[in-house]
Chain A
């Protein structure tokens, strides 16, 4: 590196200047090395190594302490050549890890290897952050409890306030009455009160029609209101149950841009979109363990996958004590309604978001659409059939040319509103 180079030739001002420049350079290049090292480390090393604990390979903090940099660079680029050359340290490690061969990285330059080492060193020297997640969760729970109490408290407060207003009102009334009595207006007040009551009754008797219409109006409005209320029974739009694993679609589908089909492969060929089996999760979470977020520990959520599979990340062995994960179903169609994903996704070419909403932005998935029959039907009424390039529709469409009379061919036009299309 520039730093060493400068140290050897530093006898003049020029040299001092050079030194100054070099130091600046070092601080600059050092930062760059760490960044490059981090990305190289995360892309290539994390599947087998962690910094402060043993995974498949040894904990890297121990290795960098035991070995010098040059040896490390050679080892990273081709560990087997070191072993074959009979390097005692190399042979020892090789045997210690059951002679499992570490992948060679011949594509790394020496600088690449060194920047990884630099990054590992830097990570080792970082002070450990206090574990906060558990406390965070606890406080979150408390917060929600407080929220509940707040609402109850508010309700009580309002009730008390109303009571106070009422009592005050009564007090004022009594006081006014007292004043009136003192003024000798008692008789008038009583008579007036009676008169008022009689007149209200009379008004009702005299305006039967108005009362009738008002009543009808009330019944009408009430009926509409209750109809709407009734029809929203068991419509669970917004249903967002707590899932056994805090799986974030935002992270997977949104940030990481994993295609929906990767996990929900059934959507393209079957009626069920299907929740992925855990072996699909393990394709990535074999090595993606989010250790960087949890101080080198495996993410507790990812650990749930391992527990379910009885998988030991240290030994990489699957046990027999498995326990399936019981997800809570969000989108529940009644048994008498048949829905087929492939018809809509594969044939019609609909985007998942059309029914499921912006899943890629949902940390926790909720039911986006009402999933009522009206909702289905409305879509069938307006959606044009995706017949392009599908020979199945050729004949059918030709025959419909006469019927449609210039209108677009909707699902409904091809019988998409008929009972037995979905109910059998």
Chain B
């Protein structure tokens, strides 16, 4: 079978079989152990000689024995004075809320939020979350947040802050000075209304919206093309063919969670049951997460982006019989012709998007979509998205105004231009000319540091607010805890400064009563309506029917602009992107996000210069090299990452890093790439075509989780083309269905060392993971961290391969030669021209809960054993830390606690601090130094689900038990349940024709079925 021939690689070290890699892979322990050194007597004089060690050991044993004889400490139990009616200690409460446009449910225990889940009723999130939403709860307890308002750089109080702001405002108003409110995109209609009220109180107030990652290009293009300034609602679930030019719509572009749900609905097991699957072509520079999911991918230089879009337009215009525009020749023109044919075949059922922020490029994209008749089906221009509203031109104007000394007061809400603006230095200098600078930042960030007053805004879990992520879709943000620090909603501050009644909740309610309630039918009184909205989480009103639009603007001029803009390019071009974890850097101080491996490179805690390995070789770069990137005004030095799939002649680097005032965990992590954003045709571009790249001195080891656990070339990935799959050939052919029943039915006999477990009667928990749905986004990783109190270990420990994640997403590369032929033999790799043609498979890997678990048999103290419900149990307090189990685990999913991460000052920047403890799940213990841990299949949720059924005197239903990774997954790739219930989804899926078990040939009988990756490739 073809799968056996195809080679998968976790990393380039493995592919090239570098000497270092070969040496390490045969080692029992991944990291170097200083055994020899310890054994030689010459080392007696080292800091910890053996005798001292023995002395310490002896003393320690004695001390422990003595300490154990102590009386148990007196523990206090402090009940509520007056218990709130809705709280029952020990039982979580859930509140609907909204995180940045995503409808969420906030789980609170005894009044403190501990977990965030997607709200299934929400039209945007549809129950899914991303890593940011999952991690948001930790931001609440961030000790780097301001504890009090800051006035003139000194810790102060609200009275002093209010007094200063109000008196200054009065002065400015008296002389008719200019007031500017600089914000990032505000999703809250009430806050916008507050700003309007504030503006009518004081004269000459103007709001400027600045987004670190700008979508001005799309907004302006839609205004130019269709007189609709805004971002349309994209519907990837209506697109049988998706062509994306550098838009990372599954990872960071506009609304990734929503798009993931939509996109996957045409590619997951439900779609494949009908033998149908969408086709996705990604044309991009660096290998993005979206690119890794594509069926076909073309690597291009950033300067070719516009030309490629024009070329595609020309191809489609030819097919449609319209006029072509003049275009430049492209090396991959043939491929574009093929793509145009595919798009044309799926007319009205396709979608072309571009991640460019160039208005001209977006205008051509509009023209393409109009030719294809996508408006009204996959693009909805009548219910616009509000998710990004930044206006680059206004930001430039503001800078000019400030420089001219025309701005008297500057209020900054959300935006952090001193960090994320390409002209950050100019902006910071211009700020000195503003008399009153007020920031609402929750920490003294780069911009707030030079403000007169910092009036810390509340976290979204602390205050009332509302959100409208799309026209007509409204959600309420509910507070789930009183403000942790002395902060105040920004809207309330503005109301107070405008001498208006400052009860923000009353304001929101009044706004809703006036603007939203009248449009809703049959809801009774406003109070009824408000309560119903709080309960469901969102209200949808006044939705328009998406209309079809035709494009009738001159495209020749636009094409010329594009060509002119990309005329002069340097030898190496820089692409600047947002990665999936850190995105624009706003949440850079979140240790969960910093330690979440990048979906593609598996790098944590750093950004880097991603360079194609062949190109790197040409430049004389090796792994761990450093490079200097120079532009006209900026120079930075970055570590090199060999990135297959990266376009030749390009380098990619992520924004969101290099913050100087993010907080304890996030400051000075990586390098700030924002200054490299270029400005083309009045908008900020995520590339820079005039840079210089030179090798720098020194070396730097990135903290990568990539090759830490290698696979020894085993056949653990199964892949098929759609054609082969639709031909009714079972995807995971042969020996699948590990349970042995299947094998026996074929007349084979497996000799088992162990007696089979009794599986009937009890629950038997199992999981399936659809490799076709999994996009590799990492929401499950953070969800698991949050649910199971998984410690954060930091960059150095990750370098030592000691990351603690219970679920990791393995990423495997396969390569093709330039003709598109799959490379199946090792020797062919050396002849590959470049590593641009790469295909990727993401495979979430967690404890497989094997029925014949190898870890269980080697544990000398029976700390890990099997439950009658099919769980591989881990009793932490029995574990003595031999680590035999980890060594015997074929999946390498066991994690060892090298430190007492929860009580060790070396980890104080991450989760070991009083505030972060509040985010712990009280139903899961934190593990101590020296014990092994691993995925428990969310045992606490299983027990809770069973108990609920027992209390309600009913059988357990499918869906009563949902694991954290499953619940967090925006793609619904993970299904968990009881296989003993024949009606459960997992019982059906695990028998599906695509399901296979990883390493089933060693007869460990794993409990997780993976569903073969199907790729919609077209044989050429």
Contact = CB atoms under 8 A, between A and B. Distances in A.
Given A266-B90, A347-B950, A415-B869, A424 B81 contact: no
B758 interface: yes
Contact of A399 (B77, B762, B943, B956): B762
Contacts of A187: none
B951 interface: yes
A332 B75 contact: yes
B40 to A, nearest CB: 39
Interface in A313-357: 322, 324-329, 332, 335-336, 338, 340, 342-343, 346-347
Given A272-B90, A332-B72, A424 B79 contact: no
A179 interface: no
A276 B69 CA distance: 33
B867 A420 contact: yes
A343 B77 CA distance: 22
A278 B936 contact: no
Contacts of B80: 277-279, 324
Given A274-B89, A418-B867, A418-B873, A340 B762 contact: no
B345 interface: no
B81 A390 contact: no
A391 B81 contact: no
A415 B865 contact: no
Contact of B88 (A269, A326, A414): A269
Contact of A419 (B760, B875, B925, B954): B875
B939 A420 contact: yes
Contacts of B532: none
Nearest to B924: A424
A325 B760 CA distance: 50
Contacts of A197: none
Interface in A367-416: 389-396, 398-400, 403, 414-415
A390 B83 contact: no
A394 B876 CA distance: 33
A329 B76 contact: yes
B423 interface: no
Interface in A257-297: 265-266, 269-272, 274-280
B78 interface: yes
A189 B868 CA distance: 77
Interface residues of B, number: 48
Nearest to A310: B81
Interface stretch (A38-46, A104-112, A208-216, A233-241): A233-241
A392 B871 contact: no
A234 B951 contact: no
B553 to A, nearest CB: 62
Given A278-B82, A309-B81, A403 B761 contact: yes
Given A392-B955, A421-B943, A274 B79 contact: yes
Contacts of B873: 418-420, 423
A159 interface: no
Contacts of B522: none
B904 interface: no
A235 B809 CA distance: 44
Nearest to A386: B950
Contacts, number: 151
A424 B933 CA distance: 10
A366 B761 CA distance: 41
Prevailing SS type, chain B contact patch = loop
Given A328-B74, A392-B955, A276 B79 contact: yes
Contact of B79 (A324, A343, A394, A414): A324
A342 B947 contact: yes
Given A324-B79, A395-B955, A424-B924, A272 B89 contact: yes
Interface in B306-329: none
A83 to B, nearest CB: 35
A269 B90 CA distance: 9
Nearest to A335: B925
B217 to A, nearest CB: 50
A325 B78 contact: yes
A308 interface: yes
A340 B874 CA distance: 20
Contact of A343 (B82, B760, B867, B950): B950
A332 B79 CA distance: 16
A283 to B, nearest CB: 12
B75 A329 contact: yes
B76 A234 contact: no
Interface string B211-232: 0000000000000000000000
Contact of B867 (A275, A278, A279, A415): A415
B68, B77, B869, B871 pick with most chain A CB within 10 angstroms? B77
B505 to A, nearest CB: 22
Contact of A241 (B74, B82, B758, B878): B74
B82 A338 contact: no
A277 B91 CA distance: 16
Nearest to A390: B953
B949 A327 contact: no
Interface string B749-765: 00000000010111000
A279 B87 CA distance: 14
B511 to A, nearest CB: 33
A277 B762 contact: no
B947 A327 contact: no
Contact of A336 (B69, B876, B946): B876
B679 interface: no
Given A338-B943, A419-B875, A270 B77 contact: no
A415 B758 contact: no
B954 A328 contact: no
A421 B942 CA distance: 10
B477 to A, nearest CB: 28
A322 B79 CA distance: 13
A247 to B, nearest CB: 12
A400 B761 contact: yes
Highest count of chain A CB atoms <10 Å: which of B82, B90, B760, B867:
B90
Contacts of B69: 233
B932 to A, nearest CB: 13
B552 interface: no
A269 B91 CA distance: 8
A347 B943 CA distance: 13
B940 interface: yes
A399 B924 contact: no
Contacts of B394: none
Contact of A266 (B88, B761, B949): B88
Nearest to A229: B69
Contacts of A266: 88-90
B944 to A, nearest CB: 9
B877 interface: yes
Interface in B27-78: 68-69, 72, 74-78
A275 B83 CA distance: 11
B923 interface: yes
A274 B871 CA distance: 31
Contact of B760 (A272, A328, A399, A421): A399
Contacts of A269: 88, 91, 951
7 contacts: A270-B88, A271-B91, A278-B81, A324-B78, A391-B955, A421-B943, A423-B873
**9 closest A-B pairs (Cβ-Cβ)?**
A399-B761, A270-B90, A277-B83, A277-B80, A272-B90, A420-B873, A419-B875, A271-B90, A424-B939
Given A266-B90, A270-B88, A420-B874, 20 more contacts: A269-B91, A270-B91, A277-B81, A278-B81, A279-B81, A325-B78, A325-B79, A326-B78, A328-B74, A336-B877, A343-B947, A390-B950, A392-B949, A393-B950, A418-B873, A419-B873, A420-B939, A421-B943, A424-B924, A424-B940
